[in-house]
Chains A and B, each alone.
Chain A
Amino acid sequence: MLETVACWIIGVGLAFDLFGCIGLIRLPDVYNRAQAATKCVTLGTCTVLAGVAVLAFGGEGGAVLGSMGVKALLCMVFVLVTSPVAAHAVCRGAYLSGVRLWPGSVVDEFAARAGEVRASQARQEGAGEDEEAETA
């Protein structure tokens, strides 16, 4: 019974993984690809890990599989926290490095803020160069 439930949970996770990777291929620009792939694959991998944890806690495996369940839950929480953070950092880096949005995009809320960020970066770089000149 519990193994059937674990099979279904793992199957749903694998389906999310597959659809996320199809989105990574099919969508038109970096930002669309990042949002499709990150959300779907994060949820899919977390669901696979949850299925493994269910299997480990409920299966007939004994002590070895029990420690596997705790580690699977730990890994699930870690992936759930870090993967969106990494995708956010990559998208911000993509925007600041000058990758254009897809022409069919309707809104660009980061445009004003990106100007400020670029200006402050330029100021910091200028200050750094001054310090280097003084020390030299």
Chain B
Amino acid sequence: MIPETFIQIGLAVLTFCSALCLYRIARGPTAPDRTVAIDILGTLVVGYCCLMAVRTRQDYYINIAIAWALISFIGTLALAKYLEGRSYDA
């Protein structure tokens, strides 16, 4: 099986990436900056879930990853339509 220290280093790297995204969400001068950072944060969480699945050897983490990717995509599209100034049903 894959060594535990490798998984721990991977989780640390992803946590650092999430911190960078959170910095961009807090700072980022315009609304689209924040939207892009939220989208990236969702994609990072998918990777995080996969590493947790390998670490704990439980496969339900992958289900969480799939659901998270789906919800993140829909949320980002809704935010993009809001930015574009269109109504949500058109």
Chain A interfacial positions (CB closer than 8 Å to B): 3, 6-7, 10-11, 13-14, 17-18, 20-22, 24-25, 30, 33-34, 37-38, 41-42, 44-45, 48-49, 52, 55, 59-61, 64-65, 67-68, 71-72, 74-75, 78-79, 82-83, 85-87, 89-94, 96-97, 99, 121, 124
Contact A75 B46 (CB under 8 A): yes
Contact B31 A79 (CB under 8 A): no
Whole-angstrom CA separation of A72 from B47 in the bound complex = 10
In the complex, which residue of chain A has the Cβ closest to the Cβ of B7? A10
Whole-angstrom CA separation of A124 from B74 in the bound complex = 24
Set of chain B residues within 8 Å of A11, measured between Cβ atoms? 6, 10
Whole-angstrom CA separation of A64 from B61 in the bound complex = 12
Assuming the contacts A45-B44, A94-B30, A121-B86, asked whether A89 and B20 have C-beta atoms less than 8 A apart, the reply is no
Set of chain A residues within 8 Å of B59, measured between Cβ atoms? 64-65, 67-68, 71
Set of chain B residues within 8 Å of A79, measured between Cβ atoms? 43, 46, 69
Contact B66 A71 (CB under 8 A): yes
Shortest beta-carbon contacts, A-B, top 3: A93-B83, A94-B32, A89-B80
Q: Which of B57, B65, B70 has the most CB of A within 10 A?
A: B65
Whole-angstrom CA separation of A55 from B62 in the bound complex = 14
Q: Which of A25, A71, A83, A90 has the most CB of B within 10 A?
A: A90
In the complex, which residue of chain B has the Cβ closest to the Cβ of A67? B59
Set of chain B residues within 8 Å of A41, measured between Cβ atoms? 17, 40, 43-44
A-B contacts, 7 of them at CB < 8 A, read A14-B14, A17-B17, A60-B1, A67-B59, A75-B65, A89-B81, A93-B83
Within 8 A of A (CB), among B33-67: 33, 35-37, 39-40, 43-44, 46-47, 50-51, 53-54, 57-59, 62-63, 65-66
